[in-house]
Each structure stands twice: as structure tokens, then as C-alpha cells.
Structure 1
Amino acid sequence: MQWYEDDSLWSDFAPTMFSPGRAEQAAGIVASSPLLDFPPGTRVLDLCCGPGLFLVPLARRGYTVTGVDLSPSMLERARAACAEAGADVRLVRADMLDYVEPGSFDVVLNVFTSFGYFDDPEDNLRVLRNARESLAPGGRLVVDVMGKEVLAGWIGRPQAVDLPDGSYVVQRDVVLDSWRRLRTDWTLVRGTSARTASLTSFLYSAAELHDLFVAAGFTDVECFGGFDGGGYDQHSRRLIVRGVRK
């Protein structure tokens, strides 16, 4: 079983990965980002939607929203969040390696570093090709990751995050394969017990992810340093790449 297929990982570490602060951040991004400003009724796919942090804000903007995720527990959280908010969102359990709905969307989003999960580089390229096939002509793919250049500027000692129930999570990042991949080790300490999980993913520079979009058949590929649409440079906190299906 691959790490991303372990549903208990997502359940155990959800309070850290998807905190209330992150939910507020997602709502603020959707409300203000020029990269997410679309006409009402735009068909938006949130690929790897997790517990739905982006789903409700997207639906509130008047978009027709679909969320796709492999994790049953994350989809259940997303379903509950949408029901509580009265948001009409379609949820689908599927693996992004295989999921395709030809020509069904105007926008595909993949956010919070949910890209690069697969050990085989060709599989990550396949995810982009799947997204392209799911887009209507003129549709756009937006991928948000921790860029290699950004990570190099802050990676360091382990970080600890306190949780509301008194437990805490220690995060440690390890660069692998000459800066090709990253392993993030999460240790959840609750009372006298501890549980550790390791997440691995590919690391991409702006140039590398740009070229991967081109290899997948996208045109007009652009790189941004944040959802404000600013350029990608040494001050950026995220790497966001957008491409168009012609």
C-alpha cells in the first residue's frame, strides 16, 4: 500500500494538515485571487479535494463544483462541510492517476501540494494529461505546490504543531535523490503513544513544472509566486503553475 492510500493517515493527521486556519486561508484565497476569478456557472474540479476546504468557497462564488479524492474519510468530511454550509457540490471517490471526465470542466484545481505523489515520473505526467483531457477546449489547469526554490529557503530543523486536544505533531522534511524528491515525516504524539507516517513526493522547480505542463499538452503556461498572481521569484511562498487546453 502506498502512503496516500492509508486512510488512517488522513484521519489521524487531518487536524494538522487541514486546520481551521487553513480553512480560513482557503476561503480568503477563493474570495480574492485573480487566478480563481471565473464567470458564474464555471465548471470547477477540485482534484484531491481532501476535506473540502476549497469546495464550499468555490460553490459560494457561484461555480458548479466537483470534488475528487481517493480517501473515504476525507470525502466524508467534505460531504459534512458542504451539507453544513448548504453548498451543492458533487463528490467523487477516484484516484487521480485514473480519473478522467472528458471535456467536463472549465477549470481543474490541484492545491496544497497534492501533486507529485507517484514514484514514477511518468505517472505524475499522466495526472496532468488526465486533467487536460477532463478540460473543455480553452479550459485551465491550476496546480499549487511547494516549489523547489521556495523549500530551499526555509527547510531546516523539525517543527512541532500543538493540537487542541493536547497532542502534538512533529514534522521533519528530508530531501532525497539530489533534490528530486521530498520525504516528510509526521509524528503524532498523543499521551504516551506515538504514530509516525512518511509522505513522499516529487519536488519541482518552476522551470521543471512549466516543462511538465508543456509535455502534457498545455499551452500559455505561466508560473506565479502566489494566488495574488504575482511573479515567481526569491520572495515567493508557493509555486503556482497555470496552463490552457487549446
Structure 2
Amino acid sequence: MTDTLIPEDSTTQDGAPLAPLPAEPVPDIGYGQVFADFYDRIFPRDAGAERTARTLADWHPGGPALELGVGTGRIAVPLARLAGPVTGVDSSPEMLDRLRAALDATAAPITPVHGDIRTYADAERYGLVYCVCATLSMILDADGQRAAVARAADRLAPGGTFVVETHNPAFVLDLHEGRRRTSYFAPYPEPDTGLQSYSTLLPEQSLWHVSHIWHEPGRTRIGSELSRLTTPDEVDAYAAAAGLVPVSRHADWAGTPFDPEHSALYVTRYARRADTPEADDGRR
């Protein structure tokens, strides 16, 4: 169904109601159309999700939180239980449908919003804004990524915290061992269950294409995704341009020190320039 906007003056000169105006469409890359049905199988609501939520709660200075790319609520639901209300923005109607189903089951204080993280605006100021699970890298150009970080900074309250988690390009390149294409299999704890991935580098555009086959007893699912290999220095530059400064960087949500060459991910915490806490030594 198309979203609609009702203007404040919603009648004609003769008092008849005006028809609703169509809202601007939300650009969507179609990720949810492909992955929504089995996203929670690939990224389960497990101890890892709880650890991520606990770390975000520890870094949260208070007030509401905003997730850019909320998906099915894997992180937002436990964070809302720990730290209070979360607004979750996503461009995928399919992912937001799964989030609403989760809210029906948990009654967590989360507000789902269909929107574009590069342009999202509201009247709220958030103590915590976060963009995790490589959502930032799903934006395939530097200008779009810069816009998303600037938008996050705009939404922060004084003393607020912004957190980004995404892939470390050096690790991805090392995974390919000098080849343009490679494949790998990740077994999951359940019997006969795992994720088979076919990975292709597109270095001319700094892009990374991965096709996945999800295996479970009696069923397989297939999906492909495209992301931009985004370096920590790039994200730091986006943040600096938006008036943010880095506070800490880790390799995971347990606080493991980040190794620029070998860590698969990086988790970076930023603060508003005028409200910067003392940078830590890598420990939570």
C-alpha cells in the first residue's frame, strides 16, 4: 500500500476534503524481499544479539535510542528491554513487518518507521544512534554513507553517542587470498544447518558481492547482497565532517582490540564534538 500525506489544510475552498497526497517513495534495495523470510535464521536472536544490546546499553547516556537499519529488531528488542524506547528506521517493508510481529510477541517499546537512513528526520533528539550489522556498507556510494552519518549526528542529543559496526575491508581482501572469487561454508549449531557463500570482489567500485545458500533440513534458501568495502578511516572522516569524534574502536561487541589487518569487523563509538567524553583505552 502506498503511504500518504495529509496536508494541514485538508479541505478545498468549498469545504470538501482533499484527497491525500502520495508520500515520496522510500528508496529500497530489495534486501528484505530476499532475506526477510530467513534473516533470523542467519542472524539469530541469541547470546550474540544480547551481548550487542548490553554493550550499546552500557554506552547509552540516556533518553531514547535510534537504530538506522532496524531490520527485524534483533538488536532493538533486547536494547529496548535494557535501556528504554527505540525508534527503528528501515527502508524494507518486509523487514518492518517481521519487526512488528516481534513487537506483538514482546511488547517492547519500539517505534518502527519506514524511511531512508540517509534522509530520516524527526523532532526527537537521541542519546544513542546506532547503525550495526554492516547496514552502513549497504549504501553503495561514499556520498550516501556520508549523508547517513551526518543524519545520525543531527539526531544526537548533547552528550549523545553514535555507533557503527561494519566489515573490515582488509579482512575481506585477505579472505580472497588474491583471488577475485572465493567460497566458504559456515556451519551452525543445529544439525545439518549452515550458510554456504560465494564471494566476488568488484575492486573497481570498492564493492563486494556475496550470494548465499542457507541450508537446513528439508529446505534451502538463496539470497544475494551487495555492499561497499568501507574502511575505518572513511567512517572516521564522515564522522569528523559531521562534528563527531571517535571514542573507541573494537573488533567485536565483547571489546576485543581491533586488528586493522585481521579483524573481520570493526565497532566504532563516536561522540558529539562539543560533548566528547574522555577516549578510553579499548576496554568497556
Which TM-score band (shorter chain)? 0.7 to 0.9
SS at match of 1:123: helix
Identity, in percent, stands at 26
Q: What CA distance in whole angstroms lies between the structure 2 residues aligned with 1:119 and 1:66?
A: 24
Unaligned runs of 5+ in 2: 1-25, 177-181, 275-284
Q: Secondary structure at the match of 2:120?
A: coil
Q: Which residue of 2 aligns with 1:5?
A: 30
Q: Which runs of 5+ in 1 are unaligned?
A: none
Can you list the C-alpha shifts for 1:94-113, whole angstroms capped at 9, x where unaligned? 11122123552111111111
Q: 2:150 aligns to what SS in structure 1? A: helix
TM-score (norm 2): 0.72
Given that 2:149 and 2:242 are in contact with CA atoms closer than 8 Å, whether structure 1 keeps it comes out as: yes
Match of 1:231 in 2: 257
Q: Is residue 198 from structure 1 mapped to residue 221 from structure 2 by the alignment?
A: no
Is the alpha carbon distance of 1:42 and 1:159 closer, same or farther for their aligned partners in structure 2, counting shifts above 3 Å? same
Cα distance in 2 between the residues matched to 1:162 and 1:59:
27
Report the CA distance shift for 1:3/1:131 in structure 2 as closer, same or farther (over 3 A): closer
Q: Please show how residues 95-244 of structure 1 align to structure 2 within 5 Å.
A: 95-101=116-122, 104-155=125-176, 156-159=182-185, 170-177=196-203, 180-187=206-213, 197-233=223-259, 234=261, 236-244=263-271
CA offsets per residue over residues 148-207 of structure 1, 9 Å max, x none? 12334445423266898x897532121222582211122467999987543211112322
Give RMSD over aligned pairs: 3.3
Aligned to 1:37, the other structure's residue is in SS state helix
Q: 1:210–1:222: 8 Å Cα contact kept in structure 2? A: no
User: How much does 1:64 deviate?
Assistant: 2.0
- Flag the structure with larger Rg: 2
Q: Cα gap change, 1:243/1:202 in structure 2, threshold over 3 Å: closer, same or farther? A: same
Three-state SS of the structure 1 residue aligned to 2:267 is strand
The letter for the 1-side match of 2:105 is: E
Secondary structure class of the residue paired with 2:97: helix
Question: Higher relative CO (CA 8 A, sep ≥ 6), structure 1 or 2?
Answer: 1
Query: Over residues 122-159 of structure 1, what are the superposed CA-to-partner deviations in whole Å (9 max), with x where a residue is unaligned?
Result: 11110101111111122111000111123344454232
Q: What are the Cα deviations for residues 217-245 of structure 1, in whole angstroms up to 9, with x where unaligned?
A: 31245422222334311553420122112
TM-score normalized with structure 1 length: 0.81
Does structure 2 conserve the Cα–Cα contact (< 8 Å) formed by 1:16 and 1:163? Answer: no
Preserved CA contact (<8 Å) 1:143 1:242: yes
Pairs aligned (count)? 242
Distance in 1, matches of 2:209 and 2:197, equals: 10
Partner of 2:4: none
Residue 71 of structure 1 aligns to which amino acid in structure 2?
S
